[in-house]
Structure 1
Amino acid sequence: RLDQGTMEVKLEVINLNSLFNFVLNRFDMILESDAKNENTITKNYNILREFTKEDVWVEVDPDKFTQVLDNIMNNAVKYSPGGGTITARLIKTKTRAILSISDQGLGIPRKDLDNIFNRFFRVDKSRSRAQGGTGLGLAISKEVVEKFNGRIWVDSVENKGSTFYISLAYVDEEPEDDWDAE
């Protein structure tokens, strides 16, 4: 659907702090659940949140944007075999909201950085095959973010980890509640 330009997006003004926390809370619950289940191989990681105190309002499709955040978080967990800290940040600049997710994982070789948002591209074929995946997640994430006039990019150092960034224009204030408009 993305290729044909027919992906339907339902834009809403949402509180990015709340949506990001919602996604991170789900990952915290998965971590806790895995720790209690003796049949599960648990990765020893924790999620550190560094959010602006201000509410950040953006116009996105909340379902599609949740999929983007899920994909980046899943990759952070998947490619951090030793665990470690995943740092989730949300800051507000003069014109943009910038969200980032950093891991302490395998990192991405410099030669591959320009290609990771291409469809079906996988960094190290043997490493990727062992981890599963299709090579579509980041390509789809990029297309979705661009539908919201946003930008996604990565900084990475091999054997140290990766940081994925998403930049979105923010809306100046909380939306009016339709119910109060009478």
Structure 2
Amino acid sequence: MIRMINELLSLSRMDSGTTRVDMELVNINEMFNYVLDRFDMILKKDDNPAKYYTIKREFTKRDLWVEIDTDKFTQVLDNIMNNAIKYSPDGGVVTCRLLETHNQVIISISDQGLGIPRADLGHVFDRFFRVDKARSRAQGGTGLGLAISKEVVQMLGGRIWVDSVEGKGSTFYISLPYEPYEEEDLWDDDSQA
């Protein structure tokens, strides 16, 4: 109940424009790996995990620097990873990808779960939307995680969307604005201050 109240307060602040965004230049490769390492650690620490899973990483080798609010974006990745694990079968693989285009960083998280019916794809980011009410009750959650994720990604100038095939799984994508930096560029900015 407290979690739902906190999520509703967070959405209310976003709606009213009173959410503070603390943008900083972040190595997204390191940050994404840090989030995924936490999920790996949870599995290793639990002697009797409710579910086994494997996280497969397919990252570009190049360091990608983006301007984001680290805390808020970590919440987005946590929401999507929690869903991917929750709705994947025991022993499933969650595939996490990170790549760049000429002006975007693209993150994708794919699961091997039940998938989302095509008719519901346009609603998964709606507040309180649940694909399968009975399954959702058993799995827990508030139905607000993806709505919050969408709001945060949009506040950061990005976009979030999903592709899914029933019976095969879902892939959530996040694109963020990206301007390629050379390492020297990062140092040059500091010396001009």
Sort the TM-score into its range (normalised by shorter chain). Answer: over 0.9
Q: Deviation per CA, 1:97-156: give whole Å up to 9, x if none.
A: 100000101111111100000111111100111101111000000000000110000000
Q: Deviation per CA, 1:31-68: give whole Å up to 9, x if none.
A: 1112xx24x42x12101100001111111000000000
Moved over 4 A (4+): 177-182
1-side partners of 2:32 and 2:188: how far apart? 21
**Corresponding residue of 1:9:** 21
Is 1:147 the counterpart of 2:155? The answer is yes
**Corresponding residue of 2:3:** none
Is 1:171 the counterpart of 2:179? The answer is yes
- Alpha-carbon distance change, 177 to 22 in structure 1, aligned in 2, over 3 angstroms: farther
More helix by share: 2
| Partner secondary structure for residue 164 of structure 1 | strand
RMSD, aligned α-carbons: 1.6
**Corresponding residue of 2:66:** 58
**Corresponding residue of 1:49:** 57
The residue identity in structure 1 corresponding to 2:33 is: N
**Corresponding residue of 2:43:** 31
Structure 1's unaligned 5+ residue stretches are none
Aligned-pair identity in percent equals 67
The residue identity in structure 2 corresponding to 1:118 is: D
2-side partners of 1:111 and 1:5: how far apart? 31
Structure 2's unaligned 5+ residue stretches are 1-12
**Corresponding residue of 2:137:** 129
Alignment coverage as a number of residue pairs:
178
TM-score with structure 2 setting the length: 0.87
- Alpha-carbon distance change, 178 to 169 in structure 1, aligned in 2, over 3 angstroms: closer
